[in-house]
Structures are given as structure tokens and as C-alpha cells.
Structure 1
Amino acid sequence: MIISDGVRLAVRASGHPDGVPTLQLSGGPGCVHYLPDAPADAPVRLFAPEPRGVGASEGGTHDIARALADLEEIRRANGIEDWAVVGHSFGADLALAYAVERPRSIRGVIGACGTGVQHDRDWSAAYHARKDDDPSRVDIEYSPEVHRSLLTSWRSWIKEPSLLRRLSRLTVPVSFLVAGQDIRPSWPVEQLAQLIPGATLTALPDVPHDFWHSHPEVWTEQVSLASQF
């Protein structure tokens, strides 16, 4: 589809045509969309965009505000009043930012294996100490330039003075998933689950970070739960 500034974005649709409209966001930032399609009989209609400047999408480097504006244009172009959002890794973080900035567009969020709203040295040290030994690691195509621009913008966004107050007043239902075999420390997500009113936290003890790849049936099950929002 072509959005308002003339950039063509690649968006893949799957699942049941009459299912609950659901946006699926992969991570990175700046990765091609790597998450699996929904089965034809799933209770969701799944929309999977690639970020601008990545994979089959045109454009280039951009910030969080532009990323969220692109998602809004995709929603409106498909005639969707509001949709569920499912995100993995950085996609989970972006889904949360989407809920904060555009709450009326979202009926609920499922955030899997996110990193939370932090830029913490201890967290980074723990992650980098183990990342090369991660047995679940999947090599995924990405744009280094888009990765840098979005990560820089994200680290600015999470320092916004009123962010924690806005999170503590969020009315969008949020469900966090943490993978028991993830090498990434889960404490930032656990804190968010305590901060956001009504948020839930579910541990998936026997799966790794990239369980969408190693346990696709578990991923599909979690995506289907978006239909309950």
C-alpha cells in the first residue's frame, strides 16, 4: 500500500477474513517481518507490515513517531476502527508505545519477550554476556540504518518525563508474555506488569526468545488470544 508521503509499505494479511483485526509487529528494530502468518481458520485477521526502509517496504531511516504514524495509516486504509496488537521483542515495545500514544486505535496489546522501557547497563551487560550462546538465536535480515535510527528514537522516547505517569493511567488491556528460556532479563517487563492497571504477566517456562520459530504452535495460540480483546 502507498501511504500519504508516497512511500510504499509492504503489508501481508493472513488469518480469517472475518476475524478480529490484529496487527503483528516483529522486532529488531529494523528487521524484516519474520513472524508466521495466521492459519486460515484463526479467529483473527492478521496484518503484518514491514517497517519503512526494510525488506519490501520503501523509505528509509525514521523515528518512533513516524513508525506509529505508518501503523495508523495502515489501520485507516484497511477500514479498521480499532485493532489488537501483538508484538515480539522490539515489536512488543513498539506495541506498548502505540498504546500510549494512540489508545483509541487499540483494543488490546499482547507483548511477547519485550525489553521494557529501560536503557539499563546491568540489563545490557547480562544480555551481551549470553547472546552469542543463545541456542534459539535465528539470523534475520535487517537494516542497520533503520535499526540505529529507531533505537536512538526509542531511547529518547522512554526518557519522556511523563511516560511512567501515562503508563500508570493506561486504559488499554495489556498482556505481557515472558519466555522462560530467554537470555534477556525479564525484570523490566515484570515491573511494567505491576505499573499498568489490569496488566497480566504470563510465563511460558519451556520456550526461548524466538519461540515463534522453535514452537510455532505456541506462538499461534498466543496470537489467537488477541481475538478475546
Structure 2
Amino acid sequence: MNIWVTSWVAADDGVRLWTATTGAPGASWPVVLVHGGPGLWDYLGPVAQLLDGNRVVHRFDQRGCGRSDPSDDQRVARAVADLECLRRHFGHERWAVIGHSFGATLALAYAWTHPERVASLVPLGSTGLGDWRTPARAEHARRASAQQRARLAELSGRERRSAEEEREFRTLAWFTDHADRERAWAWAAQDAAAPHAINWTANRRLAREVDSWPEETVRARCRRITAPATVVHGAGDPRPAATAAALAAALPHGRFVPIPDAGHHPWREQPSVLRALLLRAIRRA
């Protein structure tokens, strides 16, 4: 992966966002990758590596998260404005927007707010439309033992956790995301070792805001999106495929593409398949 530069870009309110730009200019659209959470940090370097052979790929830490400046302003509209500040800073007329997990929700919100700026939209591992929490929680519970569920509940309830306990908490929370059960724990432990603190304030505020959106309102907003949209979903993701497919159906130019034998992070389990799908999605523009 060819790293051009890592830098901090100031949003219009002065908050600096950490960014990384990789790849090289080519004939294809530039890409921005939007990480999930809420309250996490950029972890999409492997996805950038799949894409940046002949295009520019931007990544960033959302405000208050990872290496970006602290911020108490945790609203979807503010996060959308940050994305637009980045587009203007990098000088792109339009770009392909790929959002993972909660980042898929932010990508959607950006696309219905600035439809003229989105060449192609890819919600990856999204929660979709409808009740996704009930089946997702049931599947997470099924993939964990009773002892693991009890330990996760214990660690979740602690006001403070040691560094070792924090890594254990994250691993227990994330290992059920992967379809490959033999490697799931190691992958989650790798992610859990990230040196950044989870921004729980951002997590709660943004999740609460998104949960308050009526489904019909989301459907109406989706109808504003003019770009081709490819909803990509690992068939082994605990988040149900049915709600992701419902999102694709709600988008004017949407299509749903499942990836067999992949979970919430398909770049780990099916990287070549994911690469082909993302390149095809970008070309749809």
C-alpha cells in the first residue's frame, strides 16, 4: 500500500481530523472509507489496500475518536459535515463513499444530504432497515459460551477496567462478528489491542440519534440518493442479511450482494471476493 501522507485536516469548526491518503491518481473515482463504531477509530487500512492500486483512497478517524481531536459535538449532521469538509479539502468534485457497520449509516446520511457529491455508495456490513438488533443479539449469544456471556456482562458492568480487562472486554464483544469460528478469537484479540480508547459518549449519543429515526423517514431520505448503491453483506455476519437487503431495495439504484463464508469483516475472510465487488461497485458510477 502506497502511503502518500497522514495528516490532520481542520473541519469548519476547527476540530482536526486525522486522515490517511493512499494509492495513486488514476482514471477511477477517489474513495473515502468511513469506519464504524460509533466511537471507534479507522481500522479500514486492509480495505484501502484492496483498492488503492490505481485510485486515491482516503481514511480518517471520526471526531473525538482515535487520533482526531476531542469533540463534544456528536451528531450525525456534524459527522456528515466533517465528511464534506474532507471532500472539499482534498479537492474532489465527487467520490465513492464506502462505509462499514455504523459507518454505513454515516455514508447513507452523507449521500442523502449531498447526493450530487457521491459517485458510488457502498454500505458494507450495514444494519439495514428494520429490527436488526433482536436477531443480531440472538446470534451473538449463540456464538458465545455461557461462561463467555457471563464474563462479558461482568466486564461491561464495571465502571473502570484495567488495560488487560479492556482488551478482554473488546475481544469478548467482537469475536462473535466473524464467520470463521476457528480464527474469530485471534482476529478479535488483534483488533482489541488497538491503543485507542473507545469514545462511549459518541457511541451512546450517535446510536441513540440513529435509533430515533422512524423507518419511513429513513426510506424517504434514501429516495434522495441518486448514486448507484451496492449493499455488501457477509452471509455469516450476525447482523441479519434481511435488513441489509431491505435497505438495498429502498435505494433507487440499490442492489444487495451477499458474500458467502464471510462475517462482519469480509476483508479478513474473503478479501479477493470483496475486492472484486468493491471495484465493480465503484465502476457502476
Q: Quote the offset at 1:93 in angstroms.
A: 1.9
Q: For residues 122 and 227 of structure 1, do their structure 2 counterparts lie closer, same or farther at Cα, with a shift above 3 Å needed?
A: closer
1:117-159 CA deviation, whole Å, 9 max, x = no partner? 4455533543442464623462345322221122122223x22
Query: 1 CA distance for matches of 2:114 and 2:32?
Result: 14
Q: Which amino acid aligns with 2:244?
A: V
Q: For residues 163 and 111 of structure 1, do their structure 2 counterparts lie closer, same or farther at Cα, with a shift above 3 Å needed?
A: closer
Q: Which amino acid aligns with 2:208?
A: T
CA contact (8 A) 1:115 1:189 kept: yes
Matched, 1:70 2:82: yes
Matched, 1:201 2:210: no
Sequence identity percentage: 33
1:6-46 CA deviation, whole Å, 9 max, x = no partner? 11110111122334211111211121100123368623211
Matched, 1:49 2:60: yes
Q: Which amino acid aligns with 1:29?
A: P
CA contact (8 A) 2:37 2:103 kept: yes
Structure 1 window deviating more from structure 2 (24-33 vs 168-177): it is 168-177
Q: Which residue of 1 aligns with 2:11?
A: 3
Unaligned ranges ≥5, structure 1: none
Q: Which residue of 2 aligns with 1:58?
A: 69
Q: Which residue of 2 aligns with 1:105?
A: 117
Q: Quote the offset at 1:169 in angstroms.
A: 4.8
Q: Quote the offset at 1:172 in angstroms.
A: 2.0
Query: 2 CA distance for matches of 1:144 and 1:124?
Result: 21
Structure 1 window deviating more from structure 2 (66-75 vs 138-147): it is 138-147
Query: 1 CA distance for matches of 2:84 and 2:229?
Result: 19
Instruction: Indicate the structure with greater helix content.
Output: 2
Matched, 1:96 2:108: yes
Across the aligned residues of Structure 1 and Structure 2, the Cα RMSD in angstroms comes to: 2.4
Structure 2-normalised TM-score?
0.72
CA contact (8 A) 2:51 2:279 kept: no
Q: Which amino acid aligns with 1:88?
A: H
Q: Which amino acid aligns with 2:62?
A: P
Query: 2 CA distance for matches of 1:39 and 1:128?
Result: 28
Q: Which residue of 1 aligns with 2:268?
A: 213
Instruction: Indicate which of 175, 179, 185 corresponds to 2:240.
Output: 185
Q: For residues 119 and 148 of structure 1, do their structure 2 counterparts lie closer, same or farther at Cα, with a shift above 3 Å needed?
A: farther
Indicate the structure (1 or 2) with the bigger Cα radius of gyration. Answer: 2
CA contact (8 A) 2:135 2:238 kept: no
Q: Which residue of 2 aligns with 1:222?
A: 277
Q: For residues 25 and 222 of structure 1, do their structure 2 counterparts lie closer, same or farther at Cα, with a shift above 3 Å needed?
A: farther
Query: 1 CA distance for matches of 2:279 and 2:255?
Result: 16
Matched, 1:150 2:206: yes
CA contact (8 A) 2:20 2:60 kept: yes
Query: 2 CA distance for matches of 1:40 and 1:107?
Result: 16
Query: 2 CA distance for matches of 1:155 and 1:94?
Result: 13
Q: Which residue of 1 aligns with 2:21?
A: 13
Structure 1-normalised TM-score?
0.88
Unaligned ranges ≥5, structure 2: 1-8, 145-174
Q: For residues 34 and 121 of structure 1, do their structure 2 counterparts lie closer, same or farther at Cα, with a shift above 3 Å needed?
A: closer
Q: For residues 11 and 20 of structure 1, do their structure 2 counterparts lie closer, same or farther at Cα, with a shift above 3 Å needed?
A: same
Q: Which amino acid aligns with 1:21?
A: P
Query: 2 CA distance for matches of 1:145 and 1:109?
Result: 28
Q: For residues 57 and 130 of structure 1, do their structure 2 counterparts lie closer, same or farther at Cα, with a shift above 3 Å needed?
A: farther
